[in-house]
């Protein structure tokens, strides 16, 4: 059985990726939709008992937040993959501003989330970690080991071959392409750190409420 755990700031495209890639094959566990931890726990246990492929769609910014789910999944012999949405604070703020109602979170939730963000590590129990970038209406993904993520000595990476998923910009429908692009999230991280420091007068206690590419055989 396989599970995907999304990691990223509000507005980074997590739910969009689910709708584009997993909606026909995986169930979605999302606290924003369920509203309470009690409901979430009931559904999560049912998915595990049913050995149902699932996507954990929430921010999961810290190791402790991810540890809420990983032990139970691993004990049930799920193969868990992390989908790490590379930090893009400006993009998240812009997308969030276009949302309405509960979907729109206060900007401080994104800025304070960036300060709390702990990149995932294979040591947490993940079988694989995928770095994800939202570009236009599509997603670019590539595999990462835990020592090549932001914050490590190996970051930022040089040019890499990235998989452009079907439906992404430049990919014919139903086909995947490969292209070489520089993924430079370091600039976003640096500008975000400075920006977040400027928000020191705002209560930081407000928290956000939001490869191998997936194949038709239900594999993530």
Average pLDDT in the chain? 72
pLDDT of residue 47 exceeding 80, the answer is: yes
Q: Give me the mean pLDDT over the 100-115 stretch.
A: 84
Distances (CA, A) of 81 to 56, 124, 190: 10, 11, 27
Domains in the chain, CATH or no CATH each: 2-197 (3.40.50.300)
For residue 197, the tally of other CB atoms under 10 A from its CB is 10
* Cβ within 8 Å of residue 207, ≥6 positions away: 109, 112, 113
pLDDT of residue 8 exceeding 70, the answer is: yes
Q: Could you give the CA distance from residue 151 to residue 205 in angstroms, rounded to a whole number?
A: 23
Q: Which residue has the higher pLDDT, 188 or 21?
A: 21
- The string of pLDDT tens digits covering residues 170-213 is 233 333 332 222 333 333 333 334 344 444 333 333 333 333 44
Q: Could you give the CA distance from residue 126 to residue 130 in angstroms, rounded to a whole number?
A: 10
For residue 176, the tally of other CB atoms under 10 A from its CB is 15
Q: Give me the mean pLDDT over the 96-124 stretch.
A: 87
Q: Give me the mean pLDDT over the 43-61 stretch.
A: 95
pLDDT of residue 56 exceeding 50, the answer is: yes
- The string of pLDDT tens digits covering residues 135-157 is 877 888 888 754 544 444 444 33
């Amino acid at each position: 059985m396989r599970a995907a755990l999304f990691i990223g700031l509000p507005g980074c495209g997590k739910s969009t990726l689910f709708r584009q890639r997993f909606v026909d094959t995986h169930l979605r566990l999302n606290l924003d939709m369920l509203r309470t931890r009690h409901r979430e726990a009931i559904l999560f246990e049912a998915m595990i008992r049913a050995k149902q492929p699932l996507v954990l769609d929430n921010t999961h910014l810290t190791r402790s937040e991810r540890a809420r789910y990983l032990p139970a999944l691993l004990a049930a012999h799920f193969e868990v993959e992390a989908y790490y949405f590379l930090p893009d604070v400006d993009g998240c703020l812009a997308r969030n501003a276009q949302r309405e109602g509960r979907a729109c979170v206060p900007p401080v939730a994104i800025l304070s989330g960036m300060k709390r963000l702990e990149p995932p590590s294979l040591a947490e129990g993940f079988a694989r970690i995928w770095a994800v970038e939202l570009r236009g209406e599509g997603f670019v993904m590539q595999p990462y080991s835990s020592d090549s993520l932001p914050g490590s000595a190996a970051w930022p990476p040089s040019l890499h071959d990235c998989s452009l998923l079907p439906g992404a910009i430049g990919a014919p429908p139903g086909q995947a392409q490969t292209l070489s692009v520089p993924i430079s999230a370091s600039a976003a991280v640096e500008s975000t750190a400075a920006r977040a420091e400027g928000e020191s007068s705002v209560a930081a206690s407000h928290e956000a409420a939001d490869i191998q590419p997936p194949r038709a055989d239900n594999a993530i």
